[in-house]
A and B are shown apart, each in its own frame.
Chain A
Amino acid sequence: MSENPSAAGAIGTCTITLVLNGEHRRLEVQPWTTLLDLLRDPLGLSGTKKGCDHGQCGACTVLLNGRRINSCLTLAVMHDGAELTTIEGLARGAELHPMQAAFVRHDAFQCGYCTPGQICSAVGLASERCGYSREEIREYMSGNLCRCGAYPNILAAIEEALPAVRGQKQEDAR
């Protein structure tokens, strides 16, 4: 970690291991560091966004053991041994994840700041027992704010990509 340990004062750091975007990582973290702050600052994975830091906007959504979670509302030390996927871990090399490709095709964003959270959230939705109708997708994607107002395009992108993402997940699970 690039953070200066002196800043931690008397309290020491904790060691955790993560499988981060498929890679085993051993990390020293301060006990109060949120998962979001760990990703953005020391690790430089700034694809995960900070929009409110209070779990109100969804811009920091990542996949923790396959489930979507607001990374600003949880501490890094709580996830020793976890498997974590961020927006940077979705594509396979040059090939975009089907959800990413659908977002581009449907112009499901403008400024792009909420986009990583929207995409991770939508990929997480594919593992849940909901999101099988337009109304459900709208409802279960309502934890991710988009101030640009690209919601109809976000809906179209997710609706198109969800079946393929679900299929892939079932295959992976076998």
Chain B
Amino acid sequence: MNRAQSPLGQPLDRVDGPLKVRGQARYAAEFDVPGLLYGAVVSSAIARGRVLRIDSAATEALPGVHLVLSHLNRPPIASYDEPYEDADAAEGSPFRPLYNDRVLYSGQPLALVVAETQALARHAASLVHVEYAAESHQTDLQAVREQAHPAPAEVPPPRGDFEVAFNAAAHRVEGEYGTPVEHHNPMEPHASIVQYQPGGELLIHDKTQGVQNCQRYLEQVFGLQDRIRVLSPFVGGAFGSGLRPQYQLPLAVMAALALKASVRVELTRQQMFTFGYRPRSIQQLKLAADGEGRLQAVEHQAIGQTSRFEDFTEHEVEWSGMLYACDHVRLGYRLAPLDVYTPLDMRAPGATIGVYALECAMDELAHEVGIDPLELRLRNYSEINGNQGKRYSSKELRACYRQGAERFGWSRRPAQPRSLREGHELIGMGMATGVWEAMQMPASARACIDADGKLLVTSATADIGTGTYTAMTQIAADAMGLPMADVEFRLGDSSLPQAPLEGGSATVSSVGSAVQRACAGLRQKLLDAAQQSPASPFTGASPDAVEFIGGRMCLKATQHAVELKRIVEVSGALESEAHVEPGEQRQQWATATHSAVFVEVRVDEDLGTVNVSRVVSAIAAGRIVNPKTAGNQIVGGVVWGIGQALQEETLIDHRLGRYMNHNLAEYHIPVNADIPGIEVIFVEEHDSVVNELGSKGVGEIGIVGVAAAVANAIYNATGKRVRDLPITLDKLL
């Protein structure tokens, strides 16, 4: 297909759009299953201790209640750690739901009430009375920061001599930055329907970013090999919350096995605060520069919280050793266990909070040195990843700075804080750099063409709103020279070819490469099949001698063409499966996406309220498969960054060890009125190393740096440097 006609790179409408706007896309809790029973979870009211007694007499007396499931009567489950270790497990002993009488955190599921309606289950669950032997707990990271232990993570070793370089430098800044617990809060609560089949097989609808991860987990935990199929065609947002199997899934399976019936367990919004989250962090940054602003020394030390049973780690401090050129770098990362659940990857895990601290410190350094913050970044620009000593496979960050600054009007920013005012509003401008890894994971895909010329491509990946359906359809349509309407991409089914977890901005890179390769195999099969017919004009033609355009295969030399469906009419349906591993060539290079984000804020001097009034985000992420859906991803990331900067914080009452604002009225996320116009620029970036598509992925990069740019803009507006997120009005008054 010639490039002008190729769907690749076109801003096409989402292929699943019509289903979604009609309300016909079905999410995990929405499948009609005959005889379905409904589960409601009883959550722990204490943060640490033991369950002494579960009194469910009143519950069981209600007509329509089928089961009260707890550690006392659950079906057998694995006892060792290994079966519970899923593809995104942290180091340690994974949580085992309803395993024994131990209470490890407030909100822990202790029982499941199964009844004939959801309302009855919920009412019945409220009648379960649990007696505890409570033990003293600790949920405050600040209180135990001194007892933190080194994180089991590969933090880059120190380079140069930080101490000497820091002390000798002309300019120094240091500060402590804090970020709070945040919860993913996808709009769709986590839910599972376990459909009990006549033969004892389980057909499961689950909200997940990895159907095969859930399938494996259940097989291992329940010892149910070859009896489980997990489906997840639509996911109502996840942002990381679906990377690990959440507890409603094994609970629903337990109930289905115990009752030999189909069971649905849907968490309440309050219960969406009873599993993974972005961990609270305390970070110390020390930066030093010479008279011209060239970085002489960088130190980034972070303390994160984790649970008592797992050591959750993320890439939090690495960015400070790779984003800018510096010879003397010291990085450290420690963890403090608390009586809480294990944290979980949440949109751009680690980078979101680590780059926030680094990029605020860079702003502070710019003021200390007396140069423009953008100029400071340009003076320290690095073509290599200093942690690895490798060149970037591509890095068009300079273009991001230039194009973003121009579009935003950065040159109009006053250097002096608190010097722009309109009525009672102080106006400020800030910027920051963003960075995220450009990863690739092993992945498979299958492509099949039928005699109607329709192509079906499948892989067990997910579309959590990221546009996977659309992007994969585009990649396949391009590879086969077929119109979009003749291509269907299917995902979210554990029986499909292997795919990695849908996360880390790696899906286009990983699954997209497999789709491309499967289509290449199918093209070869079509050519082989055409060559089978007697006196075929394609006899002896090599794959390079033919091209696929407009539903036909053409000999380049003679323009002789045959419709693909004519070939398949004779040969019968053809299919090709491909498995793609990350390319060897990646080893020699550092690979990353970059961004430059520019923000304008208006701060009400009397009220301390902050309005973000303009954002420009310039992104370098390689080839963009669909600028419409990719742009939407970046906008969403920016919205998340604004929420992180100004609103999001899960507050815990440390006396009870329990979250206080576990609902959407008190856990604030941005609403439409909070969000200004957001301009997204994709700068041109060519990369032949990351994968055959040259695409790096865009799910995370949009958020990284945004909170720092907002904080820096607030400083520019007010002269106040708030280092603890979120920057709420009380901190500005």
Contact = CB atoms under 8 A, between A and B. Distances in A.
A49 interface: yes
B186 A151 contact: no
Interface residues of B, number: 67
A148 interface: yes
B665 A4 contact: no
B182 to A, nearest CB: 12
Nearest to A155: B672
Q: Taking chain A's interface residues, is the majority helix, strand, or loop, or is none over half, making it mixed?
A: loop
B629 A107 contact: yes
Given A37-B119, A113-B186, A113-B187, A149 B640 contact: yes
Contact of B237 (A33, A52, A111): A111
A49 B187 contact: yes
B673 A104 contact: no
B16 A7 contact: no
Contacts of B670: 149, 151
A47 to B, nearest CB: 2
Contacts of B27: 46, 49, 113
Interface string B551-579: 00000000000000000000000000000
B455 interface: no
Interface in A142-171: 142-155
A100 B465 CA distance: 17
B404 interface: no
A88 B23 contact: yes
A4 B117 contact: yes
B204 interface: no
B664 A145 contact: yes
B25 interface: yes
Interface in B279-335: none
A83 to B, nearest CB: 18
A6 B64 contact: yes
B535 to A, nearest CB: 45
Secondary structure dominating the interface of B: loop
Interface residues of A, number: 64
B378 interface: no
A22 interface: no
A134 to B, nearest CB: 9
Interface string B55-90: 000000011100000000000000000000000000
A155 B62 CA distance: 48
Given A47-B22, A53-B269, A141-B672, A4 B236 contact: no
B189 A51 contact: yes
A114 interface: yes
Contacts of B638: 149
Nearest to A134: B677
Contacts, number: 195
Interface string A110-121: 111111100100
Contacts of A54: 269, 663-665
Contacts of A145: 187, 664, 669, 671
A57 interface: yes
Contacts of A107: 13-14, 17, 628-629, 631-632
Contacts of A109: 17, 20-21, 465
B475 interface: no
Contacts of B14: 104, 107
Nearest to B13: A104
Nearest to B463: A111
A107 B469 CA distance: 14
B32 interface: yes
B175 interface: no
B93 to A, nearest CB: 31
Contacts of B631: 107
A57 B187 contact: yes
A112 B22 contact: no
Interface string A1-16: 0011011010000000
A54 B119 CA distance: 14
B65 to A, nearest CB: 9
B528 to A, nearest CB: 40
A87 B639 contact: no
Contact of B665 (A40, A46, A49, A56): A56
B252 interface: no
Contact of A4 (B18, B24, B64, B234): B64
B181 interface: no
B251 to A, nearest CB: 19
Contact of A149 (B20, B30, B628, B637): B637
Given A47-B22, A145-B664, A52 B677 contact: no
Given A104-B17, A111-B186, A150-B632, A7 B116 contact: yes
B116 A149 contact: no
22 contacts: A3-B117, A4-B116, A6-B63, A33-B119, A37-B118, A46-B29, A49-B27, A51-B187, A91-B22, A96-B18, A103-B21, A110-B466, A111-B186, A111-B234, A111-B235, A112-B19, A113-B236, A115-B21, A119-B21, A142-B673, A144-B672, A153-B635
Q: 10 closest A-B pairs (Cβ-Cβ)?
A: A47-B23, A149-B639, A113-B236, A110-B465, A111-B465, A112-B20, A7-B64, A87-B23, A149-B636, A46-B30
Interface of B: 13-14, 16-27, 29-30, 32, 62-64, 115-120, 185-189, 234-239, 266, 268-269, 464-467, 628-629, 631-633, 635-640, 663-665, 669-675, 677-678
Interface of A: 3-4, 6-7, 9, 30, 32-33, 37, 40-41, 44-54, 56-57, 59, 86-88, 90-91, 96, 100-101, 103-105, 107, 109-116, 119, 137-139, 141-155
